Amino acid sequence: MSSGSTAPVLMGSTAPVMEGSALAGPVRDASERSTARRLPLADYFAILSIVVVVVVVSIPRLRGFAVRENELDAIHMLRALAMQPAPGGHEQAGNDLAQLVARDPALQRRLEDIECLGDGRLRRHGYLFDMTMLRPGEPMLRAWPWNHGQTGRGAFVWTPQRGLLGTTNVDGRFSGPENPPAPADIGARWARIPERR
């Protein structure tokens, strides 16, 4: 090898790439692609803004969907409870639905996630359930939200003579353990709920 010749550049070598050499073009292209892949700060803020808008719009819709699902579950549970024979002495037992569910393993499996409260009421998917008397001889099953607006909105009742009735409960009057629909509340604002819902 003569003293005027240049040593070949090996792949993986740490030798600098000389301007005008055969590798200078690919190295420059890779550097430009790397720079082009970096987004300006304004683009990051734009993407972040879009994500925030999507989240802000989606959360209320998801909450509304969950509330609606809880209402439908309450309707289905009232129908399932209505098909069970009333426990003996139900006029004296009052609202002891826990006893009704406890003696029927098939009903327990069908209505999973039931929480039995100390007063004989049940709680499931954001709704409270109990049994009382609409009037002597006419038992009434009730379902109303645990927390109006958060776990449900509508309130529902079932009686053998009237079937399934519901109200939109717009004012949140029926909400929480202390505020079930009373027999005197069942009136013109309560509409019959069709069988398929």
Tens-level pLDDT at each residue, the chain (197 residues): 445 555 555 454 455 555 555 555 555 665 555 555 676 777 777 777 787 777 666 666 666 778 899 999 999 999 988 887 655 444 444 557 888 888 888 888 888 888 888 888 999 999 999 999 988 888 999 999 999 999 999 999 999 999 999 999 999 999 999 999 999 999 888 999 987 64
Tokens matching residue 175: 């909400």
Residues 6+ apart with CB under 8 A from 45: none
Alpha carbon separation from 9 to 12, 71, 189 (Å, rounded): 9, 74, 89
pLDDT at 197: 46
How far apart (Å, rounded) are the C-alpha atoms in residues 120 and 149? 24
Whole-number pLDDT of residue 159: 92
Task: Give the residue from 141, 149, 136 showing the smallest Cα distance to 175.
Answer: 149
| Tokens representing residue 113 in the block | 């996630």
Contact 154, 67 (CB under 8 A): no
* pLDDT at residue number 89: 47
pLDDT of residue 102: 80
Q: Do 140 and 167 meet the contact criterion of CB atoms below 8 Å apart?
A: no
Q: Where are the domains of the chain?
A: 66-192
Check residue 129 and give its pLDDT. Answer: 95
pLDDT at 37: 63
Q: Which residues contact 73 (CB under 8 A, 6 or more apart)?
A: 124, 125, 127
Burial 23-37 (b: 16+ CB within 10 A, else e): eeeeeeeeeeeeeee
pTM over 0.75: no
pLDDT of residue 5: 52
Buried b (16+ CB within 10 A) or exposed e, 107-130: beeebeebeeeeebbbbbbbbbbb
Tell me, what's the pLDDT at 111? 81
Q: What is the pLDDT of residue 18?
A: 54
Q: HSE of 148 in the Cβ direction (CA atoms, 13 Å)?
A: 17
Instruction: Output the pLDDT for position 46.
Output: 78
